[in-house]
Amino acid sequence: MLKLTHLNKSYENHKVLDDINVVFPKNKTTVILGPSGAGKSTLLRSINLLDQPESGSIELDNLKLNYESNLSNSEILRRKSAMVFQSWSLFPHMTIMENIIEGPTQAKNENKEQAIEEGKKLLAEVGLAGFENRYPSELSGGQQQRVSIARALALKPSYILFDEPTSALDPELEAQILHLIQKLAMEDKSMIVVTHNMDFARKVADKVIFLENGQVIFDGESKEFFENKNRRIQDFLNAMKF
Ligand code: ADP
């Protein structure tokens, strides 16, 4: 389980996350929804310690860290989650396989041959078998994003964090990535997904967290969210329609 307690984050005088208390269940997909600027990305980045909140705590797999105190456990905690960003951030000078095994061999000291074997399986899983010796520039955006997902999986993280993983893709490629994430959800991976695609959110979410102005407005089952009569939730869902 991943739990955030009393998490607060500000940029100068602007409170971006305001006393966040949420739980992300294991082997489930939690979708974080909310208008632009609500704090969704900052929340994900706080889990992965790319952003450091001023206060609050995070508990993940029996490891607890208070953000305001010393961050001696931060490296261990950071490696428990893997982030897939909006724009794939592969190393351009490395082959696809080198990109995938970089984390396992460098950060986790895994055996290189074994990491390559696992990397091949992961490439097959994301529909890119045989691409290991190519360079990122030889791949389409959608293919590069699939490599980013394979790279995240190679770290065997407790949680995979997706930050609007399709926002830089055209619709056909978007659908391919969404199907891949849906497949991972069906394999009971523990995932947290920020998305603007409501159809996808409906299909993939076990749980929804709705953020607005840095506050949790809704935290519950997906079905309950999409049928919710709360005015702010209704307004948001209506605004997301064409
Ligand atoms: P969302 O992902 O919901 O669109 P973000 O978490 O990206 O929201 O941003 C929340 C708020 O924090 C926004 O108002 C944004 O402008 C602000 N913000 C995010 N990152 C920074 C930063 N590095 N410096 C200053 N303000 C930031």
**DSSP secondary structure string, 140-197?**
-HHHHHHHHHHHHHHT--SEEEEESTTTTS-HHHHHHHHHHHHHHHHTT--EEEE-S-
Q: Collapsing DSSP states into helix, strand and coil, what is residue 162?
A: strand
Distance CA 185, CA 204 (A): 7
For residue 109, what pLDDT is reported? 85
189-241 per-position pLDDT tens digit:
999 999 999 999 999 999 999 999 999 999 999 999 999 999 999 999 999 98
Q: Which atom of ligand 1 is nearest to the CA of 164?
A: 2
Given a cut of 70, is residue 70 above it in pLDDT?
Answer: no
For residue 100, what pLDDT is reported? 97
For residue 71, what pLDDT is reported? 67
Cα 10 to ligand 1 centroid, rounded to whole Å? 9
Q: Which atom of ligand 1 is nearest to the CA of 38?
A: 3
Cα 42 to ligand 1 centroid, rounded to whole Å? 6
Which residue shows structure tokens 């490696």?
79
The answer to whether residues 47 and 65 touch, using CB atoms and an 8 Å cutoff, is no
Distance CA 77, CA 71 (A): 10
Q: Whose CA is nearest to atom 15 of ligand 1?
A: 37
Cα 37 to ligand 1 centroid, rounded to whole Å? 6
> What backbone torsions phi and psi does residue 28 show, to the nearest 5 degrees?
-125, 165
For the chain, the average pLDDT equals 94
Q: For residue 5, what are its two tokens?
A: 């307690």
Cα 90 to ligand 1 centroid, rounded to whole Å? 24
Q: For residue 169, what are its two tokens?
A: 């893709």
Q: Which residues does a 6 A CB cutoff place in the pocket of ligand 1?
A: 11, 16, 34, 36-42
Cα 214 to ligand 1 centroid, rounded to whole Å? 10
For residue 89, what pLDDT is reported? 84
Query: CB under 8 Å, gap of 24 or more: what pairs does 85-88 form?
Result: 85/148, 85/163, 85/165, 86/163, 86/164, 86/165, 86/167, 86/168, 87/168, 88/136, 88/141, 88/144, 88/145, 88/147, 88/148
pTM: 0.95
146-188 per-position pLDDT tens digit:
999 999 999 999 999 999 999 888 888 899 999 999 999 999 9
